[in-house]
Structure 1
């Protein structure tokens, strides 16, 4: 970008550039120079808005985490409607969009980034921890409504669902699984917790 031409929303443009690199080349290709080149701006633009590159990456991940707040409220509100397996399948399919899956790989690959995110209040594997909490909140609501057995341990069931679904999406070289593949995993994981009338 020529000197003197203002970027309309530099932070958003830098985040969008980072997401494109993650999708195209993976987390190892994500450097400050790669991001600013992809965004079409001088390297100094990134450092004008963020203390350093890890601060930029932390903000990128935190933006994804904040999106989960609205998703979590909507998922919890769906308790008692539709089918439990259908609601979970839709939530997991939405959660593991290609960018989110790439962001999880980024978080796992960078120790300093995880440390910064934990300092900001994230737990476990950042983004995955918040996603597990979202699922646990929904499953708790379903248990309270009687669609799950009263002794269902949602603290175990939620991360089990999340981990099983993540394995479907984790291979960057493979095509994303379809909704039916996700539904089969959800059905297998929750089968023992469903009340009889909810099976199927």
Structure 2
């Protein structure tokens, strides 16, 4: 006889439950039992959809990377319109309002998870590496349009922006980040390139 409650889109419900546990209790509290309890389902549900817990976590991170990839495409489409600093501040605020900071902490704290993610993110910190690439792509497009200096090193600017805003958020100054504070940091970083 079946037990528990049937889950619609079990993967997404488990991912959402994992985010809630991660945000509320931190990376050390993120276990398969904590996730399934939060999702209101049997532990076997997670193992029916994923090979093991690290497989689940790797898919969670990849799913969140895909979500940011969509935001990156939206950012690139904004090239040529609005102020460059505003466009970047919007994208970076959205990135760090999400669970990104907690995901980064999770990836850093779990060696096996990092190893599994190397197939899709061979270098750097997953999520931040992809966010940096999206920002560099946007800046390159702005450079093509003449809104960024022709000699601007967008591959250096992008991770600098990510790092500066990440520091703003994890430094305890503002969580989630305040848009105006992010905009000030962005404007300072790109001042020589605009």
Q: TM-score, normalised by structure 2?
A: 0.94
* Root-mean-square deviation (Å): 1.6
**Which residue in 1 is equivalent to 2:133?**
133
* Cα distance change, pair 96–175 in 1 and its aligned pair in 2 (3 A): closer
**Which residue in 2 is equivalent to 1:198?**
none
Structure 2: how far apart are the matches of 1:92 and 1:156? 16
Q: Any gaps of 5 or more consecutive residues in structure 2? A: none
* Cα distance change, pair 92–174 in 1 and its aligned pair in 2 (3 A): closer
The aligned runs of 1:97-116 (5 Å cut-off) are 97-116=97-116
**Which residue in 1 is equivalent to 2:160?**
160
* Cα distance change, pair 193–46 in 1 and its aligned pair in 2 (3 A): same
Q: TM-score, normalised by structure 1?
A: 0.91
Residues paired across the two proteins, number: 193
**Which residue in 2 is equivalent to 1:86?**
86
Secondary structure, counterpart of 1:136 in structure 2: helix
The aligned runs of 1:1-200 (5 Å cut-off) are 3=3, 5-171=5-171, 175-194=175-194
- Offset from partner CA, 1:82-102 (integer Å, 9 cap, x none): 100010000101111241221
Segments of 4+ in structure 1 off by > 6 A? none
Deviation of 1:175 after TM superposition, in Å, equals 3.3
User: Is the 2:4–2:41 Cα contact (8 Å) retained in structure 1?
Assistant: no
* Cα distance change, pair 44–189 in 1 and its aligned pair in 2 (3 A): same
User: Is the 1:122–1:130 Cα contact (8 Å) retained in structure 2?
Assistant: no
